[in-house]
């Protein structure tokens, strides 16, 4: 064999080895517990997606400072879901094949979470969704899919109970954004929950995609005999615009909103002219509880500003919960971790006490109700979180990290 042919053979061998190394997990990936983090990091939900990711990163840093997961360092592989909405299955596959992701946390949107969760389920990977509240979402995906947020039924029940008992109103009108399944579903649940408590829903009005009909909707509502409870089922920015239109029309009746208002572009943007607006919240950073205040302090030090809305705390809790499940299972493998997560009861997180079950993969947890009074946020009176279903001592809490 000539030297030229030997050299050619060596080059081919080197190229093959390089290609194989690119396809195989690195030694670092093999020695670490790799978690895929898929969030909306660009586009209209970027502020909340980045905030949730910051919460995940804070939890991961705390976990690694405490010795990692099962004595191994925790490593996050981050991807932008917004840039890959039409190929989330491919994104999940790449994280498994190329980065050796053993489980996933992420996503605030129910539709995206379902698509990514189905892909992860097909690859035998646990997916812990951070922010989606759509009823039945875990069941629509499979046994390796969990959520960290309460569901639509829980928040609708909490809001309806507060409205009926504390506000004393017996009539309501709903404004619903029909462009997203999650908002339509929440509007239906809120209507049912109000009716069950004797609050008559007189009308269900729909806003168009650009919100251009809000003044007309406000005029239609203003023609009704009040006082009425104003129910809003939409994302935070649209809910804020709806409240502004109602107040411009001189309608000062109290409003209630779902957790779509519990975002950076939601409640914090309600101004002095917004009147009284109640909303379901995942986190209440004004709570004096030590775990909550430690989170606020650590998050502020990491990000340079205090957490805003539910996503930062939900991200933190989701990552801490996943690590806890792996520790309980004694394994980072998804099936074992999922079984352990199903057994978690009374785990104390920043967003409240979590309990799952063998057939319950959306947590039983508190729904906090916050109120904005002329733009000033506070905990709603007589709307304390529901008690957890089990003693807190059963599962070590997030403070353990």
* Domain membership of residue 250 as a residue range: 153-281
Has residue 392 got a pLDDT over 70?
A: no
Same-domain check for residues 141 and 256: no
Q: Is 376 a domain residue?
A: no
Same-domain check for residues 146 and 161: no
Has residue 27 got a pLDDT over 50?
A: no
Q: Between 291 and 396, where is the model more confident?
A: 291
| The token pair that represents 77 in the structure block | 């592989």
pLDDT band at 196 (very low <50, low <70, confident <90, very high): very high
Same-domain check for residues 138 and 51: yes
Q: Which residues are CB-neighbours of 37 under 8 A, at least 6 positions away? A: 53, 56, 76, 77, 78, 79, 104, 105, 106
The phi-psi region of residue 113 (left if phi > 0; otherwise alpha if psi is between -120 and 50; otherwise beta) is alpha
Same-domain check for residues 251 and 335: no
Has residue 2 got a pLDDT over 90?
A: no
Mean pLDDT of 292-306: 98
Cα 147 from Cα 149, distance rounded (Å): 6
Could you say which of 244, 260, 281 is where a domain stops? 281
Using one digit for the tens of pLDDT, what is the confidence trace for 54-90?
999 999 999 999 999 999 999 999 999 988 888 999 9
Cα 278 from Cα 39, distance rounded (Å): 28
Q: Between 398 and 369, where is the model more confident?
A: 369
Look at residue 58 in the predicted model and tell me its pLDDT.
98
Using one digit for the tens of pLDDT, what is the confidence trace for 156-189?
999 999 999 889 899 999 999 998 888 999 999 9
Kindly state the percentage of the chain with pLDDT values over 70: 86
pLDDT band at 321 (very low <50, low <70, confident <90, very high): very high
Same-domain check for residues 276 and 297: no
Contact present, 228 and 172 (Cβ < 8 Å): yes
Same-domain check for residues 274 and 308: no
- Number of helical H runs and strand E runs in the chain: 13, 15
Q: Is 295 a domain residue?
A: yes
Write the DSSP string, 111-122.
HHHHHHHHHHHH
Has residue 225 got a pLDDT over 50?
A: yes
Same-domain check for residues 241 and 165: yes
Has residue 387 got a pLDDT over 50?
A: no
pLDDT band at 395 (very low <50, low <70, confident <90, very high): very low
Kindly state the percentage of the chain with pLDDT values over 90: 77
Q: Between 389 and 213, where is the model more confident?
A: 213
Look at residue 9 in the predicted model and tell me its pLDDT.
32
Nearest residue to 105 via CA among 67, 79, 124 = 79
pLDDT band at 389 (very low <50, low <70, confident <90, very high): very low
Same-domain check for residues 141 and 157: no
Same-domain check for residues 260 and 300: no
Work out the mean pLDDT of the chain and round it to a whole number.
87
Look at residue 383 in the predicted model and tell me its pLDDT.
43
The domain total for the chain is 2
Phi, psi of 174 (to 5 degrees): -110, 140
User: Can you state the angle between helices 110-122 and 88-99, rounded to 10 degrees?
Assistant: 40
Mean pLDDT of 321-343: 97
Same-domain check for residues 181 and 268: yes
Q: How far is CA 261 from CA 48, 310, 314, 381, in A?
A: 12, 9, 15, 18
Q: Between 374 and 387, where is the model more confident?
A: 374
Mean pLDDT of 322-344: 97
Same-domain check for residues 83 and 175: no
Q: Is 395 a domain residue?
A: no
CATH code of the domain covering residue 178: 3.40.50.2300
Look at residue 400 in the predicted model and tell me its pLDDT.
54
Could you say which of 260, 281, 302 is where a domain stops? 281
pLDDT band at 4 (very low <50, low <70, confident <90, very high): very low
Has residue 100 got a pLDDT over 60?
A: yes
Q: Is 114 a domain residue?
A: yes
Look at residue 397 in the predicted model and tell me its pLDDT.
62
Look at residue 29 in the predicted model and tell me its pLDDT.
47
Could you say which of 246, 281, 316 is where a domain stops? 281
Has residue 34 got a pLDDT over 80?
A: yes
Using one digit for the tens of pLDDT, what is the confidence trace for 228-277?
999 999 999 999 999 999 999 999 999 999 999 999 999 999 989 999 99
> Minimum mean pLDDT among 85-94, 181-190, 201-210: which range?
201-210
Q: How far is CA 133 from CA 20, 359, 368, 387, in A?
A: 41, 17, 14, 20
Question: Residue 216: helix, strand or coil by DSSP?
Answer: helix
């Amino acid at each position: 064999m000539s030297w030229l042919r030997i050299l050619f053979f060596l080059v081919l061998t080197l190229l093959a080895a390089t290609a194989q190394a690119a396809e195989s997990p690195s030694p670092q990936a093999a020695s670490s517990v790799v978690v895929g983090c898929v969030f909306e990091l660009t586009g209209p939900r970027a502020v909340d997606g980045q905030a949730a990711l910051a919460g995940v990163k804070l939890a991961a840093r705390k976990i690694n400072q405490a010795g990692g997961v099962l004595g191994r360092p925790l490593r996050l592989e981050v991807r932008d879901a917004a840039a890959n909405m039409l190929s989330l299955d491919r994104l999940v596959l790449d994280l498994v094949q190329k980065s050796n992701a053993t489980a996933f946390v992420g996503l605030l949107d129910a539709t995206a979470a379902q698509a990514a969760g189905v892909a992860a389920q097909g690859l035998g990977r646990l997916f812990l969704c951070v922010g989606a509240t759509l009823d039945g979402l875990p069941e629509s995906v499979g046994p390796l899919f969990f959520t960290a947020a309460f569901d639509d039924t829980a928040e609708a029940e909490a809001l309806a109970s507060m409205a009926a008992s504390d506000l004393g109103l017996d009539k309501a009108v709903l404004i619903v954004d029909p462009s997203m399944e999650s908002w339509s579903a929440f509007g239906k649940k809120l209507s049912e929950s109000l009716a069950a408590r004797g609050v008559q829903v007189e009308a269900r009005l729909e806003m168009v995609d650009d919100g251009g009909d809000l003044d007309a909707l406000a005029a239609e509502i203003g023609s009704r005999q009040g006082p009425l409870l104003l129910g809003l089922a939409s994302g935070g920015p649209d809910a804020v615009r709806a409240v502004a239109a109602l107040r411009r029309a001189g309608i000062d009746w109290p409003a209630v909103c779902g957790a779509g208002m519990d975002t950076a572009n939601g409640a914090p943007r309600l101004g002095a002219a917004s009147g009284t607006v109640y909303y379901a919240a995942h986190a209440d950073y004004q709570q004096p509880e030590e775990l909550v205040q430690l989170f606020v302090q650590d998050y502020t030090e990491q990000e340079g500003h205090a957490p805003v809305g539910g996503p930062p705390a939900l991200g933190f809790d989701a990552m801490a919960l996943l690590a806890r499940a792996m520790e309980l299972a004694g394994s980072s493998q998804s099936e074992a971790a999922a079984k352990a997560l199903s057994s978690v009861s009374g785990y104390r997180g920043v967003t409240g006490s979590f309990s799952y079950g063998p057939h319950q993969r959306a947590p039983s947890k508190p729904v906090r109700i916050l109120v904005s009074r002329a733009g000033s946020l506070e905990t709603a009176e007589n709307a304390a979180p529901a008690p957890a279903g089990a003693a807190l001592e059963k599962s070590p809490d997030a403070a353990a990290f």
